[in-house]
Amino acid sequence: MQERSEPSGETLDTVEPADAPGATAESPAEPPAEGQEPAADRPSQTTEEPAAETEEPAAGAATEEPAKSDKMDWYILKVQSNREESIREGLLRRVAIQGLDYYFGDVIVPTEKVTEFKGGKKKIIKRKLYPGYIVVHMEINDDTWFLVRETPGIGDFTGAAGRPSPMLPHEVERILVKHEEKTEKAPKLKIAFVQGDRVKIKEGTFENFEGEVDAIDETNGRVTVMINIFGRSTPVELEYWQIEAL
């Protein structure tokens, strides 16, 4: 009778088949918790960036000048005297109302700065270069011609036989240079005296002295007069308004 061998106390390693559960490197996904959707069915969460804001022009940014005709010339208009400025404003209003801005540029009353002395005080004033006239930069056509002619206070264009004659370039330059003089530049005085004139001092330390004009400073409004002091000819600098002609 064959004896049955007893199992030894050694434990043999158990080899599981390759397709056994748990043999793969990755473990199966755990089932979703109750009430939670499967990951595959869950919509992906994407972060949306806010749309870029439209950049607005900065306050005070320069705007383009409206287009103007390239056929404009300078013309002189005869107007009523002492109403030059109000007639200029009236013409500009009518241009805007009629929508003819494209054909018109500057409308100016030519002036220059002069200094006057009144009551011993110096005052800078604007004096019209050509009283009774204004100057306009425009293109002549039927619409603009009638608009100008129908503006109250305007007589006519200067020119031969009623035809508007544009100003010559050197005429335009002379008027514009005088009109656009900077205020920083000291205006010249209109002093009625010339070198050699006999004058009398009417105010100041040397009041009632008589003398002869030696030099004139139109910029500062001062006059140098040679007077006789103790038998000697002495130069005295005075304000323009302190002397009068003999």
- Per-residue pLDDT tens over the stretch 18-55: 444 444 444 444 555 555 555 445 545 555 555 545 55
Residue 61 resides in a domain: no
Q: Which two tokens stand for residue 39?
A: 């990951």
106 and 167 assigned to the same domain: yes
pTM beyond 0.85: no
Do the Cβ atoms of 199 and 211 come closer than 8 Å? yes
Q: Are residues 118 and 174 in the same domain?
A: yes
Specify the DSSP element, H or E, that contains 95: helix 84-98
Q: How many angstroms separate the CA atoms of 236 and 226, rounded? A: 6
Q: Which of 150, 179, 208 is the last residue of a domain?
A: 179
With respect to residue 110, please indicate whether it lies within any of the assigned structural domains.
Answer: yes
* Rounded-to-integer distance, Cα 159 and Cα 74, Å: 12
Task: Give the strand pairing for 154-157 and 243-245.
Answer: unpaired
Do 173 and 208 lie in a common domain? no
| Whole-number Å distance between alpha carbons of 235 and 240 | 15
Domain count, the chain: 2
- The model's confidence at residue 120, banded by pLDDT at 50, 70 and 90, is low
Instruction: Say if 26 falls within a structural domain.
Output: no
Domain that holds residue 174: 73-179
